[in-house]
Structure 1
Amino acid sequence: MATFVSVPLKKSSEVDLTRPLSKFVIATYQTSEDQAEYIRAVEELNKLRKNALGRPLDKHESSLEILLRYYDQLCAVEPKFPFSENQLCLTFTWKDAFDKGSLFGGSVKLALASLGYEKTCVLFNAAALASQIASEQNLDNDEGLKAAAKYYQLASGAFGHIKDTVLSALNREPTMDISPETVGTLSIIMLAQAQEVIFLKATSDKMKDAVIAKLANQAADFYGDAFKQCQYKDNLPKEVLPVLAAKHCIMQANAELHQSALAKQKKRFGEEIARLQHAAELVKTVASRYDEYVSVKDLNDKINRALAAAKKDNDFIYHDRVPEIKDLEHIGKAALVKATTITPPLSQKFADLFEKMVPMAVQQSMSIYNQRKAETVNRLVGTMREATNLCNGVLASLNLPAALEDLSGDSIPQSIAEKARSIVQQGGLQSIEQLIRDLPELLTRNREILDESLKMLDSEETTDSELRTKFSQRWNRTPSGELYKPLRAEGANFRNVLDKAVQADQVVKERYNTHCEMITLLCKPESELNAAIPSANPTKTLQGSEVVNVLRSQLAKLDEIKKERETMEGEIKAVTFDMSVSFLTALAQDGTINEEQLSVSQLDQLYGSYNQRVQASLRSQEDLLGQIQTSHQEFSSLKQSNTEANQREEVLKKLALAHDSYVEISSNLWFIFYPLLFLPHYDIVFARKTERDELLKDLQQSIAREPSAPSFSVPAYQSTPATPAAGPTPAPRTVFVSSHSQSQTSSITKADVRLLDTY
């Protein structure tokens, strides 16, 4: 039975994907339908991980399909969630596939908050399982040979892909099993085994000896390359090196055997004997050095029988000269296998759980676009509201329209009555006073949340710095100080917001105190309000006069302008456009998104006409206010001048101003302080603590396993020459086992073990 190398699977710690991903979905997507759909997808992703990594997998295609489906889903989901240490922080812990641990239970593992790390390890497992499935195939039939070749090529492609991407995916030194050197060697080994399977199929199909010889020679070349790569490195278990050396010799021997048959057909009997002698020497070398790993008895017998027959025929019949092997023509090579290209999706049953979710690049562009859109809307709406407030202020200073409604001089003007009812409906004076009373407590609570969040960052960063100082290069994770820079900047922004809030609230309180008396009067019953307004002599002579009619007409036009603004404000707020389509198209076409160019162009199209209408509205108001002031001067000169009338008009002006101030105070009060969104940093700190605990545990176990000494070695991945172990029985199959050296020294002492226990 042929001996083939297969790779053990890596083991992973359990990770809950549901909670952090669901939290991101709820915070990012507004509609309940989107949230429900994506949360279901998150739960399915979590189940998929458990099926792929949370249980032993059979050496069967169905198990490989689960791994590939999970890998495909990771590739699909990566651009759609902000996986990073300072955003969506998920720590994945994986053990070295070739490390079996010590007697004390320690093992080599690495914990990283990196989805790229998770993808790399999952793809490693897919390659490893493919190698195991291939090694289980029955090579005595055609179907088994085809399956083995397919899976070895898949394994080769997966290991090769890891070699090219692992350093950029991790941004730090990986464990030995997924290092570029290790997976690069594994890729060549798997390709060599695929080529060997093709050689076995060609032999089984009784193809021409010339073809079989080239296939065998190519396999020998692949095995030779793999042997050279790991000959002076300890990146693979010690059993692998002798197997590669043996396979190199065996494939060379097979190439010479079939090339000798070709020489016989061409009546080159001396060449036939020379090649068979070389093949016999190669097999003899394998039998003497690597007998415990592979069996060459059948091949040896076949070669010796052919050699004996060839010598006999040549001695008695042909008497052809036997040349030196170095003088013979080189055997050609024929590579009929190649590493499978890793281009997701790899699974035939893959269906993207988050197909409708847009990539993060689009989400980020959408976020910036929404900010630009909000700024545009706020600018237009703010401009109109400013103009309306200015208009109301001017009319209040002129006591309009109350002056026209108060020509009788003894009843509440209709506009004042409406303003009074509006204030009562909004809660009156008690509503504002309650909001003002709540302000200090709300402000204090938000300061406490902010201080507690920053304190958590300080505490974790201090601990990280102490451990980094103590263990130097052994403490190999991103420094907390560097990681928390954007979070501290965010905290400073929140602090600035709170400081500005204090100043703004003081202005609001001062304005409230100025108009408190008049607001109180507007909250009273209509009879009390009427009694509080001074009466005046009737000015009925002005009723029906031309100036009054002109003023009323002008005020009616002004009301139309204000109503048009209210309608326009609703239209502006209701404008919708799905920019995600434009961003997705740009991303697909160019690979990047020029958000500013696309957003500005689209916003100009959406709001350009509204901007023109707003400016036209401002100009119309300015013209009308000029006309109203001119008409009011004429109206005032016609009114009978007396003290009572002046007092009444002054009170009516104050009441109108009080109403406008009430509305503005209510909308501007800082009662909309909700607890700050700084608490999600707890998830990041918690993830960092989990990662720290994992690293501390590994260090403690490593130190505890070392011999007692003032200063001693710490286990590290280093290279030492691998030597084959002795043993009489050849193994039909080879599975990798643990093999790591511990040659790197560090100045960690037993005092460090006690220090580890204090954290």
Structure 2
Amino acid sequence: MAALLVVPLKKTFEVDIAKPLKNLINRSYNGNNANVIDHSEAVNELSKLRNTALVRPCITIDSLETIYNYYDQLLVLESKIPMHELQNVPFKWKNAFDKKMFKGRISLTLPSLAYEKQCVLFNIAAMQCAIAAAQGTYRDDGFRLAIKLLQQSAGIFAHLTSVTSFSNLSTCDLDTDTLQVLSNLMLAQAQEIFVLKAIKHSMKESTVAELASSCQHLYERVLRGLQKDSLRSIWDKDWINTVAGKQCGFEAIAQFYQSLVCRNRKAIGEEIARLQYSTERFEAAKLHSGKPNLYEEFLFQAQQNLNESKKDNDFIYNATVPNMKTLVEPKQHQLAKVLPFTTPLSPNSRDFFVHLVPIVLHRAIDVRKSEIISGEMMKLRESTQKLNETLVRLNLPATIEVAVGSTLPRSILNKAKDVREMGGIDGLCKLIDELPESLRCNEEVLDEVVRMLNEEADADTRIRTQFMEKWSQKPSEKLTKTIRSNIAKYREIIHNAVMADKAIRKTFEKHAHVLKMLSKPISQLENECSIGFGDGNISNSRSAQELRRLMDNVDALKAEREQIESELKSATVDLKDQFLNALAEDGAINESDISDVSIRKIFAPLCKRVNENVLKQQVLIEKTQSVYHDFERECSDRSEARDAFLNGLASAYDTFITLRKHLKEGTKFYSDLTYLLITFRQKVSDFCNARKTEKFDLIKSIIEDKNSNWTMKTDNQNETITIQAELYSHITMAESFNPYATFTIRKIQ
């Protein structure tokens, strides 16, 4: 029997995936993964695994497990982080059939993980074929392993026909027609193993005939694919001959074993006809394959049976030998099946990134967490605003301190001191003045992103117009829809920020006079207070003492509120173990059910404290208003002008705190936005560079067309470069070649 045909492996080269992958993980989690785990070891292990599995492979079962493991790790990573953003790793793969090529690409480099996965799957299928071919036919376990691997290989090649997405750029070994032929070849070779196993175990003649007939038809389909004009130049020169020989050989084997069925039925005439045709096909198999000893044992046995049957027919039966065209072809019984491609490929694969929570889940948790935190903090801030409005309306605590003597109230002095320590009105002015500069920086980064995209799109349009149907690169407008949508979202965010800045500046200008006064030294502030204090002193009255106690409660309430806000902001949520347990038990993760219940459970104590704090405030306000009415009756001779002045200072303090808080948040917002936009700009830059590389490769491929001569002219040079396609192997493209230049291409007459 002829040996099985082995598909050659694609060759690749070492690339640095460790550093880009680390950056992608950090960028995806904004450098703040809830698990706070360093994944450098896992990333380095993956990089080493790639080199072992792909760069220096061996044709062994262990090597096959290694490449299984690498592919499984890529799938695991894809389920956790956006691996499509890994755009700056140049994966270079050579054509598996490069030594037999007369046209097409010898290699292709693409910064695409999808391309890497396709090439890895091709090598897995090729290695499965090679290991199957190395199995001996003298052991049943060798038969079983060979059949399993060939059927899996057929499934992978068939799977690749449906996922290949680089048909305009890929090397010919990843072409859909090529992959379909290889899938058919693996299936035919698996059926061949079934035939050999049936012969070895002396199965019924009719069974062997049916299996061999099916094998013959499978090889016939493979032969038609190999002989396609678009594919003939790809294959090794012996492939077509070998497959043609096997197609004839298994047709002969099917007829030989069907003749044995006829012998058992004493159908001597039909037996002789089938034996005659069988010997002819065995001779044709030798001729087509170029192997004079191919199927020699079967041919010898067929000739021996033919001589015996002819002799018996001449002396005993005198049966008529029918024409082969009138005989029914043996039935087909195909045992070989295309095994569906399933993952994981290895049941023993270990997840290198087991501690990495999928980014989708991580972001969903952040959203749910932010919703709860925002809601609770909104409750607290609305309550604080209501409390401050009540105190300002009652002029507390300044009112009860006015009665103590002829100086400013202690609360006003403390507030003025706090304002000066926080920079006063000058500090607010500085923060306000910084906002336009921060805004300008963000707008410049976003404008730079738009410029890069527009330049890339313009270059794509120019080259597409000039190369016309030869330009197969996907249009930029289809690839950049998401990017331009994100740009629009960032524009809207910046617009909203500008409106918020205007509101802050308007509030500042409205209260600037009082804020300036509150920022002055104590002596100047007292001079501003030109209204008399009045003569009455009711600091020791029952209502004044009760109001002081209530104001102490207000301070305690606000302090508790600040503590709750701090705990809400610093609360962490780690659901990794729950997610992994759910995945192990159910095989899937119901993120909404797990995270919603768990996050609410984590925040339940804080939410309870928020509600209790708000209820406590309602009681406190009601009590304060009641006591204040009693105090008013005791202080009917107070100076209304002085009260208004002190009320304005107290209100100015609250305004100062609110403005300062909003300005700090605005400064942080612009800083965070700058980081996001710079990261966004880098992604767009990587995309544009990848498109630039892709343009270069496609232009180079067009120029390499050996069936035509081309003249190439660029607008950047006042010269025309004539390239003879048949001599292109002696020409090296300049390193500084600019694929964004405008090209004019015409055929040489």
Q: Same fold (TM over 0.5)?
A: yes
Cα drift, residue 279 of structure 1: 0.6
Query: Which stretch of structure 1 is more off in the superposition, 526-535 or 560-569?
Result: 526-535
In the alignment, which residue of structure 2 is the partner of 1:38?
39
In the alignment, which residue of structure 2 is the partner of 1:195?
191
CA contact (8 A) 1:153 1:194 kept: yes
Q: Which of 120, 123, 148 is 1:122 aligned to?
A: 120
Q: Distance in 1 between matches of 2:198 and 2:208?
A: 6
Query: Which stretch of structure 1 is more off in the superposition, 602-611 or 193-202?
Result: 602-611
In the alignment, which residue of structure 1 is the partner of 2:26?
26
1:74 alignment partner AA: L
In the alignment, which residue of structure 1 is the partner of 2:338?
339
In the alignment, which residue of structure 2 is the partner of 1:82?
82
Partner SS for 2:343: coil
Cα distance 1:622–1:544, how it changes in 2: closer, same or farther (>3 A)?
Answer: closer
Cα distance 1:279–1:244, how it changes in 2: closer, same or farther (>3 A)?
Answer: same
In the alignment, which residue of structure 1 is the partner of 2:163?
166
2:53 alignment partner AA: A
1:664 alignment partner AA: T
Q: Distance in 1 between matches of 2:167 and 2:370?
A: 38
Query: Which stretch of structure 1 is more off in the superposition, 592-601 or 449-458?
Result: 592-601
Q: Distance in 2 between matches of 1:710 and 1:170?
A: 25
CA contact (8 A) 2:205 2:258 kept: yes
Alignment partner of 1:491 is 2:508: no
In the alignment, which residue of structure 2 is the partner of 1:657?
651
Cα drift, residue 443 of structure 1: 2.8
1:98 alignment partner AA: F
Q: Distance in 2 between matches of 1:489 and 1:52?
A: 39
Partner SS for 1:154: helix
Cα drift, residue 665 of structure 1: 1.8
Cα distance 1:551–1:487, how it changes in 2: closer, same or farther (>3 A)?
Answer: same
Q: Which of 530, 533, 540 is 1:544 aligned to?
A: 540
Partner SS for 2:8: coil
Q: Distance in 1 between matches of 2:704 and 2:470?
A: 15
In the alignment, which residue of structure 2 is the partner of 1:471?
467
Which consecutive residues of structure 2, in runs of 5 or more, have no partner in the other structure?
713-724, 726-736, 743-749
Cα drift, residue 126 of structure 1: 0.8
After superposition, where does 1:130-209 map in structure 2 within 5 Å? 130-139=128-137, 144-163=142-161, 165-166=162-163, 176-209=172-205
Q: Distance in 2 between matches of 1:458 and 1:219?
A: 57
2:123 alignment partner AA: N
Q: Distance in 1 between matches of 2:122 and 2:292?
A: 25
CA contact (8 A) 1:243 1:293 kept: no
In the alignment, which residue of structure 1 is the partner of 2:308?
309
Q: Which of 432, 441, 444 is 1:445 aligned to?
A: 441
The share of aligned pairs that are identical, in percent, is 31
Q: Distance in 2 between matches of 1:374 and 1:114?
A: 34
1:439 alignment partner AA: L
Partner SS for 2:79: helix
Aligned length: 708
Cα distance 1:629–1:468, how it changes in 2: closer, same or farther (>3 A)?
Answer: farther
Query: Which stretch of structure 1 is more off in the superposition, 271-280 or 383-392?
Result: 383-392
CA contact (8 A) 1:5 1:135 kept: yes
In the alignment, which residue of structure 1 is the partner of 2:687?
687
In the alignment, which residue of structure 1 is the partner of 2:290?
291
In the alignment, which residue of structure 1 is the partner of 2:451?
455
Query: Which stretch of structure 1 is more off in the superposition, 124-133 or 401-410?
Result: 401-410
Cα drift, residue 266 of structure 1: 4.7
CA contact (8 A) 2:192 2:212 kept: yes
1:216-246 deviation line (CA, Å, top 9, x unaligned): 2332232233334555563464644443332
CA contact (8 A) 1:111 1:691 kept: no
Cα drift, residue 699 of structure 1: 2.8
CA contact (8 A) 1:270 1:322 kept: yes
In the alignment, which residue of structure 1 is the partner of 2:53?
52
1:352-404 deviation line (CA, Å, top 9, x unaligned): 222333445x43xx535533542443243234223323432442454321221
Q: Distance in 2 between matches of 1:71 and 1:254?
A: 41
Cα drift, residue 130 of structure 1: 1.7
Cα distance 1:631–1:564, how it changes in 2: closer, same or farther (>3 A)?
Answer: farther
In the alignment, which residue of structure 2 is the partner of 1:750?
none
Partner SS for 1:5: coil
1:455-480 deviation line (CA, Å, top 9, x unaligned): 22222221122122222343333322
After superposition, where does 1:198-597 map in structure 2 within 5 Å? 198-230=194-226, 232=228, 234-235=230-231, 237=234, 239=237, 240-291=239-290, 295-326=294-325, 328=327, 330-359=329-358, 362-363=360-361, 366-368=362-364, 370-429=366-425, 431-509=427-505, 511-512=507-508, 536-537=532-533, 539=535, 541-552=537-548, 554-556=550-552, 558-559=554-555, 561-563=557-559, 565-566=561-562, 568-570=564-566, 572-573=568-569, 581=578
1:41-80 deviation line (CA, Å, top 9, x unaligned): 233323323333334x332223322222222222222222
Q: Distance in 2 between matches of 1:159 and 1:293?
A: 32
TM-score by length of 2: 0.81
Partner SS for 2:676: coil
After superposition, where does 1:601-750 map in structure 2 within 5 Å? 616=615, 619-620=618-619, 623-624=622-623, 626-627=625-626, 630-631=629-630, 633-637=632-636, 639=637, 641=638, 648-669=642-663, 670-672=666-668, 673-674=670-671, 675-680=674-679, 681-706=681-706, 709=709
1:565-619 deviation line (CA, Å, top 9, x unaligned): 4455456556666677589969997989695998599769967867865764675
Cα distance 1:598–1:143, how it changes in 2: closer, same or farther (>3 A)?
Answer: closer
Q: Distance in 1 between matches of 2:185 and 2:167?
A: 27
Which consecutive residues of structure 1, in runs of 5 or more, have no partner in the other structure?
713-741, 743-753
Q: Distance in 1 between matches of 2:62 and 2:602?
A: 53
Q: Distance in 2 between matches of 1:177 and 1:42?
A: 30
Cα drift, residue 128 of structure 1: 1.2
Partner SS for 2:678: coil
In the alignment, which residue of structure 2 is the partner of 1:65?
65
CA contact (8 A) 2:404 2:538 kept: no
TM-score by length of 1: 0.80
Q: Distance in 2 between matches of 1:329 and 1:375?
A: 75
Q: Distance in 1 between matches of 2:292 and 2:108?
A: 32
Cα drift, residue 127 of structure 1: 0.7
RMSD, aligned α-carbons: 4.3
Cα drift, residue 250 of structure 1: 0.4
1:13-65 deviation line (CA, Å, top 9, x unaligned): 6654334432232133355684544343233323323333334x332223322
Q: Distance in 1 between matches of 2:291 and 2:653?
A: 99
CA contact (8 A) 2:470 2:702 kept: no
CA contact (8 A) 1:152 1:193 kept: yes
Cα distance 1:666–1:157, how it changes in 2: closer, same or farther (>3 A)?
Answer: same
Q: Distance in 2 between matches of 1:16 and 1:488?
A: 30
Cα distance 1:591–1:228, how it changes in 2: closer, same or farther (>3 A)?
Answer: farther
